[in-house]
A and B are shown apart, each in its own frame.
Chain A
């Protein structure tokens, strides 16, 4: 196998893993055929979050933060162990964000920094590449104390979040808008042609319905910034910022595979540098830097003299002209320690704010099956898979609802979508156990099991039609999915403006039964600020965030006679 074949294999591998990653996110969607007679629970046919469980940084950080490796996170060893022996192959061959950065960096440009000498210079090892190690130590120290911040910058959750909650919804809006625009011309053949293009595109890539996400612009900003930075420095993200790349670089400390340079044949043409992805000094005369190399093997493939070769146990003797490879990570010990201290200090800083428990937002409604807030923040990697899979567009990335610490973690916004009673998909896709998978009985409750509650509904009597406006309504009661219904009605005679007596049914909440699903809030006809709304109090995951002294499964109330008028 020639080196060019290997390079083509690497290109193929990048495309393959990128497509697999995207496909898994597209499949994180409720498109399942169910047989209503035999299956009461809907489940996804593939383990769609498996890609995230291959991420060693997710595994390490959640292990430090909560003390366990959740389910499929053991898969991350499949990436980590080979890295120990051969180096950061993941960055050059597998990582979807790395591949995107690779491709964006390669877009032809007139910029001088992208051609010839400018490019060669930009591909030499630079001091800024140390930043990623400090970032890594910073987030790892925070994780060790229980605040998982790795997900914001970890490439796989970042990519999943960006595709699921930003790129796909934006693409949906754009293509639907374009279709409507073309159809607005009112020319039959043009409309049909547009539909013929749109339909296969939509069935392949678009969600079954338009979704809208809270805080999407911040997610878009980070992702776009990462892509744009490639136009300034080749693969700036991978070289300078990526905490997963830093982790893999540190773990390749003892790698037995590496680049061997032959100074006798080298004529210093610098073609190796021109094509280098990792800025790891592949040229003869300087130390090659193992922890920076992505193993893209561009340098070996580009070398016209055959002076460079990747091999096991590369020779470590060096001459003045050819110093041996530097395997240790290039970073200042002081700054590494400072980063660790900074990360460790982050935790008490964040927890001294009021957003965690002391003054937690009343609208901080977590998905059903979520673990307690402390554990939740030690598990959620903000991959956005729960938001992507939610059939009702109910789950959204937070902005400041759970403080800066919980940025982009999921919350339920009932006004946009309520929690579907029979649905347990968010727990099924969560790769780290921040949302536990519930059975249908655990979700809706049965005679032995209490239902999972995410909050409690309340009436705003100043806005409710039967309470404030002598008008019939009770849409909330109609939508209430518990049995018996948590919303009950009392007929009361009220006077309207003219003093006439009107009999209306006024709704009340039974907090013993209400699960906080938010169907009432979703359906309330008072559009802007609904007259019935859910707050997080009463949520199953918290022993403290409760109203009633004792909550148990309420006994069935005596059989009521259907209301007659």
Chain B
């Protein structure tokens, strides 16, 4: 090998080695693709307390739309909760591939009316969404909620992975979890649960309904069901809780399926105190709220009061 060729080849080899080494050094453990979750503080969607209105009201009326309006007017009209130009997110329970009559999902009538009320109050946008357990589109279609909400003018979001944002919920068991975006960027949050029996938490009403804002390994939450419900309720304190107790699923919850398990109650609760709402609604299931551990824990955490009568409970039957 001639000297010149020797030098050329050695130079090229050294350059290639330098590129390899440099690339290795450059890419070494620089956290390039490590995902940094957005840290979002606790969300408080509540309105300021107003002594003129009770924090919970229940109306019984066979016309469910009228029942909703009456209960809402009792706690202050929609104007108290939704101002012009605000983005509102409504969280019905659309967990299962069941029809409205089977009482596993919130009544589409109430969802539609709530959307209409928000838009009438001048809301810029109303999003209706839930992360269903069964296949999302089947749940939204069969429950009738997609049709009702869209007819009333809402944007119905059928969630995909894209809509989840890893968020610090700041709870005891719920720390960093993927949360649906509409529950982070809304101005107002209206929780619209239905009342159902649940074998582990006794009941699924308002606070448990917030399971539906989470993605990820939700099936682990049962291991700490009371604390995780309370963590969630503390994270997203809703503007308003509207409990659909028009039909109540007494057994076989939270999925139901048989009409024999459904009691017809024709009742709607509106509340600014979500603990009080759950406490009152639990009575439809024959439960005493003081013995339902997640409701007790929520009161202890300062999220509201179990003694709903002291919260100025108004009943209009």
Contact = CB atoms under 8 A, between A and B. Distances in A.
B136 to A, nearest CB: 8
Nearest to A565: B293
Interface-centre pick from A35, A478, A523, A527 (highest chain B CB count, 10 A): A478
Contacts of A421: 97, 257
B222 A473 contact: yes
A420 B134 contact: yes
Nearest to B225: A472
A525 B216 CA distance: 11
A450 to B, nearest CB: 15
B141 interface: yes
Contact of B255 (A37, A472, A481): A481
B225 A483 contact: no
B34 to A, nearest CB: 13
Interface string B15-41: 000000000000000000000000000
Interface-centre pick from B219, B258, B286 (highest chain A CB count, 10 A): B219
Contacts of A35: 144, 147
A36 interface: yes
A524 interface: yes
Interface string A154-191: 00000000000000000000000000000000000000
Contacts of A479: 133, 255
B251 A525 contact: no
Interface in A117-173: none
Interface string A501-530: 000010000000000000000011101000
B138 A391 contact: yes
A480 B255 contact: yes
A34 B219 contact: no
A36 B261 contact: no
Given A420-B135, A562-B285, A474 B222 contact: yes
A503 B57 CA distance: 36
Interface in B138-173: 138, 141-144, 147, 160
Nearest to B97: A422
Contacts of A320: none
Interface in B177-205: 197-200, 202-203
A144 to B, nearest CB: 41
A55 interface: no
Given A36-B144, A472-B225, A525 B287 contact: no
- Interface band, chain A: 35 or more
A475 B219 contact: yes
B99 interface: yes
B194 to A, nearest CB: 15
A564 interface: yes
A471 interface: yes
B250 A562 contact: yes
Contacts of A481: 96, 255, 257
- 9 cross-chain pairs, A with B, having the tightest CB-CB distances, nearest first: A483-B258, A483-B257, A36-B144, A525-B219, A562-B197, A475-B219, A391-B135, A483-B252, A525-B220
Interface of B: 96-97, 99-100, 108, 133-135, 137-138, 141-144, 147, 160, 197-200, 202-203, 217, 219-220, 222-225, 250-252, 254-258, 260-261, 285-287, 291-293
28 contacts: A32-B141, A36-B99, A36-B141, A36-B144, A36-B147, A37-B100, A37-B144, A392-B135, A422-B97, A422-B142, A423-B138, A471-B223, A473-B222, A475-B219, A477-B199, A478-B255, A479-B255, A483-B252, A484-B251, A484-B252, A484-B258, A525-B217, A525-B222, A527-B217, A559-B251, A562-B199, A563-B202, A564-B291
